[in-house]
Chains A and B, each alone.
Chain A
Amino acid sequence: MTKPLVKINNLSKRFPKSNGFALNNINLEICTGAITGLVGPDGAGKSTLIRMIASLLLPTSGNVTVNEFDSAKEAHKIQSIISYMPQKFGLYEDLTVIENLNLYADLKNITGNEKESQFKRLLKFTDLERFTSRLAGDLSGGMKQKLGLACCLIKTPQLLLLDEPSVGVDPISRRELWTMVKELVNDEMGVIWGTAYLDEAEKCDDVLLLNEGNLLFQGKPDKLYERVKNRTFQIQNIEGSNRKVLTTALTNSKVIDGIIQGRSVRIVTREESVFPSTQEIDSGLDSRIVKVAPRFEDAFIDILGGGPGGISLLSEEMLNIPEYKEDIINVNCLTKAFGDFIAANNICFSVKQGEIFGLLGPNGAGKSTVFKMMCGLLKPTNGTADIAGYDLRTAPGEARSKLGYMAQKFSLYDNLNVQQNLNFFAGIYGLSGRKKHKKIEQMIKIFDLKQYLETSAGDLPLGFKQRLALSCAVMHNPPVLFLDEPTSGVDPITRREFWVHINGLVQKGVTVVITTHFMDEAEYCDRMGLIYQGNLIAIGSSDELKNSVRSEILPDPTLEDAFIELIKAENLQRQALK
């Protein structure tokens, strides 16, 4: 029998010195026997809610009870029946796996036979038996998370709180982690799984959808799909540019949202079964529109009132990039070794002008290393990388103005205001006087930054931070744009807005290189390289990669399926070589 475990009534949380509510009037109930997905973009209030359930934060108003204990008055009792795994679990990197387990067992007062049997069970469960004497700091991202989970489970809790356990973990470990938690759930135990991956939410038994502190939806994922039933279609077999088709489709009044999926375009319509004709969206004679299953994200966008439209003011104002006949990016046998550790091993590929090329892989696989070597931020141990004919490490400074760069987490000067940031980036790219003034005005107009000119970049809402970062990166009309995990953790609307601009720029001839571990983002790429443990194990378009793993068991693989299969195959091959 499942039973209600967590009850939340009219809960609000407001942090001192902040304008809005981190959580706004939340009411919900969480039961045992289910994985409850707490889904939402960064800054939605997921961590705040989890920490309030763990009674680490006090409510501004309303209340939280766990197993009838009030979080404000009986924090101690709550903490004795829950386990909380924060985003970065407190593993001691200088202790071995078993020493970490011992430490947490001692902290939870588990000793003797109970400890032994529990360790045995957990190590088997997490598949860490072989690594008990390895330092926690030397484990891979996925194994660290598993060890963290094991430490949380030393004393079986009634409620397990997991705050984004799968961020940055490779897809195989992600699935394993999921299966492990799935096995744990029983009538005596509830799990809350916080995540920014919307596809992960689809697998949860129950879903709480948070956005900007508001609870948008609570219930089974299926119920959410009802909203977008018969409204999701894929335009296949497109003739010509799929990006143009997307742009046209998004301007059509029947369509509220659309994204690129490899060569195809996926749309969500305003009404059931009313979709534009292939002529209307100009997708060619052979193209066809096929109904596809709805996804979690479709519903999310629908709740938020549809996507941002398809017109990029930025690309309208941008100059055409002169044609470049040869491959604009050439990466030749790049290798980087840090001591004994080979972070990137003999990586070769090239990118044509106007292409979006993705470097994909889990955290620590080496994609950032390759990326940094390409931008000239890191010296390769071996090999070269040419951008538009220049090796950026040795080329004169002016060659670097061919490059636009946007780093992960938007590296802006946090305590300078928007105007000052724009001035600064215009200045270092050599713009001055009237030209600079005009360009900045243009950026303010395109990205609608006027209302925030005096706001410090650090205090901007996430979406505007992204806009500012992009405007700083493209102000000097670079032919090549490097984006390092540009939209990880942002909400789907902001992500779409970003990609509208990128698509627009690509149509003007800009070449884009991005790194990502989001499969959704990878779908936007024309071609991508999968990097795993320092090696480029596959390269091709999303359709090519999917086709390469298509089989009877997997008739319609997703990109993530493709990656998992490719990584598995790579692992098998390596074992065979040993």
Chain B
Amino acid sequence: MFNRIITLIIKELLTVWRDKKSRMILIVPPILQLIVYSYAATLEIKNVSIGIINEDTGIISRHIEDRFYGSNTFSKIYQLQHKDAKNFIDTQKGLLIIHFAQDFSKKILNNEPGNIQVILDGRKSNSAQIVMGYVSEILNQYNLDYMNQNNLPKQQSSIIITRNWFNPNLEFKWFMVPALMATISLIMGMVITGLSIARERELGTFDQLLVSPIHPFEILIGKTLPGLIIGLAEATILFLIIIFILKIPFTGSIFLLYLSLCIFLLSVLGVGLFISSLAKTQQQAFLGAFIFMPPAILLSGFATPIENMPSWLQPITLIDPLRYFMFILRGLFLKDMPADIVMTNLLPLLTISIVTLTGSVLFFRRRLE
């Protein structure tokens, strides 16, 4: 039995390696995805264009304007007339407009509160909110400085100084890249196993295997282990790129990383084999994998925190293997997650892999009938 499984594993690795196309598919896209997405998948807002309508002729609005010009968040600042405002937002030339009324400086110099109108493009609600944050920060800072200069009584008695733990500069990449590693591992695991049985069906070799003395269970092991080997190798390459090229610190334990990776891959391979045993052709298997992947990624907390999802949806994320692995990976990368927390998250992951693997065994046997 041992001998037969080894034979199967060698065959599986050889078919992948000797085929130029599958070799390419396994190596090039994951690395490209990692590098491209780690720069592209960012929620930071930079290079924003804004407009300013300044009807005030006073000094104060000029000073504030200068602060905007001085900030590197805004790549381009347009000076607008009142009549251009609508068109400016409509055509998405800029995200927001800052409007100083005629008497703005006068009011401030008279020690009255001056009003600034900010018009935001609500179609891009997320970006607009973030940029609004930047704008208020600039205005607050100016306020403070102005009061200091003129010895005005301070309204604020305490000043908040923030220190970001784990990610001192709030580098978005640090948050994103571990998640990318998890997601890419998911995709590759699905592709490797999802296609393998279907490919053999198309070639006709699958029948050949079934009429041989091999037990279906052995066939499954012979499909799972090579998937695991390839998946681990793949993840190692990604990991090295992350550490040495993207220079993201890894604070946790390598052992825990690989342990979780193994269990995660097993659960993914189980799903992949399940889809594969259902599909008659590689095309069907591919479609099946792509029906599974988007919800798995969206519900994992990849881009949006699970806590923000509606309460009826949250329990569904509990069956998503990516959710646990994403959590573990982020923890291991950024905050040296202790073993016991990793274990608490590995337990459900292990349950999922047992369920998907047994499921694929059962389904695989049913399909023979």
Contact = CB atoms under 8 A, between A and B. Distances in A.
A456 B7 contact: no
B3 A407 contact: no
Interface string B122-142: 000000000000000000000
A427 B208 contact: no
Contacts of A415: 15, 18-19
Given A409-B204, A411-B205, A416-B11, A432 B212 contact: no
A397 B15 contact: no
B213 A398 contact: yes
A379 B11 contact: no
Interface in A492-542: none
B291 to A, nearest CB: 23
B211 A424 contact: no
Given A400-B212, A429-B213, A377 B207 contact: yes
A408 to B, nearest CB: 7
A378 B14 CA distance: 29
A308 to B, nearest CB: 26
Nearest to B204: A411
A377 B6 CA distance: 24
Contacts of A430: 3-4, 213
A254 B35 CA distance: 74
A98 interface: no
B8 to A, nearest CB: 7
A428 B204 contact: no
A420 B209 CA distance: 15
Contacts of B209: 428
Contact of B211 (A379, A400, A409, A423): A400
Contacts of B15: 413, 415-416
B203 interface: yes
Interface in B5-57: 6-8, 10-11, 14-15, 18-19
A197 interface: no
A411 B211 contact: no
A420 B14 contact: yes
Nearest to A376: B211
B339 interface: no
Given A427-B6, A427-B7, A416 B18 contact: yes
A477 interface: no
Contacts of B90: none
A400 B4 CA distance: 14
B108 interface: no
A42 interface: no
Interface string A5-24: 00000000000000000000
Given A379-B368, A415-B18, A428 B7 contact: yes
A149 interface: no
Contacts, number: 83
Contact of B207 (A392, A405, A425, A428): A405
A397 B213 contact: yes
Interface in B171-226: 203-205, 207-215
B307 interface: no
B10 to A, nearest CB: 8
A417 B214 CA distance: 22
A482 interface: yes
A385 to B, nearest CB: 13
B215 to A, nearest CB: 5
A408 B204 contact: yes
Interface string A106-134: 00000000000000000000000000000
B340 interface: no
Contacts of B208: 405, 407, 411
B19 A377 contact: no
A428 B8 contact: yes
A377 B212 CA distance: 11
B211 A405 contact: yes
A514 to B, nearest CB: 15
A397 B207 contact: no
A411 B15 CA distance: 14
B214 A377 contact: no
B368 A377 contact: yes
B204 A377 contact: no
Interface in A382-400: 392, 397-400
B3 A432 contact: yes
A372 to B, nearest CB: 8
B369 interface: yes
Contacts of B368: 377, 379
A482 B4 CA distance: 22
A377 B203 contact: no
A377 B210 contact: yes
Contact of A397 (B3, B18, B19, B215): B215
A401 interface: yes
Interface of A: 372, 375-379, 392, 397-401, 403, 405, 407-409, 411-417, 420, 423-425, 427-430, 432, 456, 482
23 contacts: A372-B207, A377-B207, A378-B369, A400-B213, A401-B212, A407-B208, A412-B203, A412-B205, A414-B203, A416-B11, A416-B18, A420-B14, A423-B7, A427-B10, A427-B11, A428-B4, A428-B209, A428-B212, A429-B212, A430-B3, A432-B3, A456-B18, A482-B211
Top 5 nearest A-B pairs (CB, nearest first) are: A427-B7, A411-B204, A379-B369, A397-B213, A405-B211
Interface of B: 3-4, 6-8, 10-11, 14-15, 18-19, 203-205, 207-215, 368-369
Given A416-B14, A427-B11, A432-B3, 9 more contacts: A399-B213, A400-B213, A411-B208, A414-B203, A420-B11, A420-B14, A427-B8, A427-B10, A482-B211
